Amino acid sequence: MAETRIQGGIKMQLTKEQIMIRKTAREFARKDLAPLAAERDQNHDYPAESLKKMGELGLLGMLVPEEYGGEGLDTVSYVLAMTEVAYACASTAVIMSVHNSICCGSLLRFGTQQQREKFLKPMTAGEIICSFALSEPEAGSDPASLQTTAEKDGDFYVLNGTKRWITGGATSGLFIVLARTDPEAGHRGISAFLVTRDMEGFSTGRLEDKMGQCASDTTDLLFNNCRVPADHLLGNEGEGFIVAMSGLDDGRIGIAALSLGLGQAALDQAADYARQRVQFGKPISENQGLRWMIADMATDVEAARQLVLNAASKKDQEERCTKEVSMAKLYASEMSNRVTGQALQIHGGYGYTKEFPVERLYRDARVLTIYEGTSQIQKMVIANEMLGGKKKRKN
């Protein structure tokens, strides 16, 4: 039976297909990902085998039309699946998110026919995982100030510079790299390139020793006279900042859904623990103080779900959804931090150990308010969308 959700005062039906996709993703995530998540986190093991299966299941090209090997699904289906994957393993979910939304999305929006045919089929099959390389040591929240250069040399662009915090830097086969083609033109002097790992002059730099999401690697990328064929320019010269910003609109829906899945997992863990943990001769779930905590957590999770579904359905209506996406990312990522913290508190001392999953959920949640735009950046975006204009940059 179709499921009804209230959305913006309007009844939103999940279709039978969307419910089926959620069921498929849930079964896969709980059977294949969940049992390995703790071990992968501890050993920093990249989920290569699981990603292969995800390619076979259609989870790596969800929004890509069938002609390019994808599933041709809507964004609501995508966020439902993402929530399920994140419920089991946040490290796998972030790889899925960057690959599906920023990378496949940018290729679809800006790629030539030849680029789409060359890259999207292996990407949707899970044969190539794609990463997004925007940030630099001195350009995080302010990517318009990035310094990596791309100089035209005949049929090539020559890239020089360092990218930082790149999810999948050590493992992905393909990268969308933002580099400066015109040093005088500010954000309009940035272009996007499709760089493959085997290109001369490309290498991976230091591996970050992270607090959470440890099964997904984060590294520097080093470009030392890296020669990229000119037909690997994605979009027009000078269009790279728009490639990145519109890609992040897609990407932040994925991270919002990831945050929701993590929050839901923490809530479920806390409720289960509270029912079985006995103190003072009764389950701690019978204490009013704890019942109110669970009620607040459940309300928080549900509010995030509505914002995530709202942003996804707005995107599916092909309306500009920058504001709704940032609201969903802001709220869901903050919720995930609150709820995983409360879940850990409910577990008491056990929550502070690796014996229970909440310890990992708490660490995995922490980056959600940082990557793909900090909470403070999301507030800037929301305010800009609402109020328009802002002060011009000085440099």
Positions touching ligand CAA (CB under 6 A) are: 94, 98, 132, 134-135, 141-144, 167, 187-188, 241-242, 245-246, 248-249, 322, 371-373, 377, 380-381
283 exposure class (CB count in 10 Å sphere: 0-12, 13-18, 19+): middle
Sign of the CA dihedral with 69 first, then 325, 80, and 46 last: positive
Cα–Cα distance between 22 and 19 in angstroms, integer?
A: 5
Cα–Cα distance between 156 and 168 in angstroms, integer?
A: 25
C-alpha distances out from residue 378 to 141, 193, 311, Å: 10, 26, 14
Nearer to ligand CAA, 178 or 344 (CB): 178
Nearer to ligand CAA, 57 or 98 (CB): 98
Which residue reads 């931090």 in tokens? 337
Cα–Cα distance between 242 and 323 in angstroms, integer?
A: 16
Nearer to ligand CAA, 163 or 347 (CB): 163
Which residue reads 């796998």 in tokens? 92
| Per-state percent for the chain, helix, strand, coil, to nearest 5 | 55, 20, 25
Nearer to ligand CAA, 54 or 368 (CB): 368
- We find the least distance from the C-beta atom of residue 352 to ligand CAA, in angstroms, to be 27
27 is catalytic: no
Three-state DSSP class for residue 312: helix
Strand intervals (E) in 3-92: 3-7, 10-14
Three-state DSSP class for residue 127: coil
- We find the least distance from the C-beta atom of residue 88 to ligand CAA, in angstroms, to be 19
Query: Which of 155, 201, 196, 156 is closest to 177 using CA atoms?
Result: 196
- We find the least distance from the C-beta atom of residue 53 to ligand CAA, in angstroms, to be 22
- We find the least distance from the C-beta atom of residue 71 to ligand CAA, in angstroms, to be 22
Nearer to ligand CAA, 40 or 187 (CB): 187
Distance of CA 144 to the CA centre of its chain: 21
Query: How many residues appear in the chain?
Result: 395
Catalytic residue (one of 84, 136, 334, 372): 372
Structure tokens at 256: 């919002």
- We find the least distance from the C-beta atom of residue 248 to ligand CAA, in angstroms, to be 5
Nearer to ligand CAA, 150 or 377 (CB): 377
Count CB atoms within 10 A of the CB of residue 59: 28
- We find the least distance from the C-beta atom of residue 6 to ligand CAA, in angstroms, to be 27
Cα–Cα distance between 321 and 144 in angstroms, integer?
A: 21
Beta bridge partners of 139: 136
Structure tokens at 141: 């929240």
Nearer to ligand CAA, 25 or 368 (CB): 368
Residues designated catalytic:
372
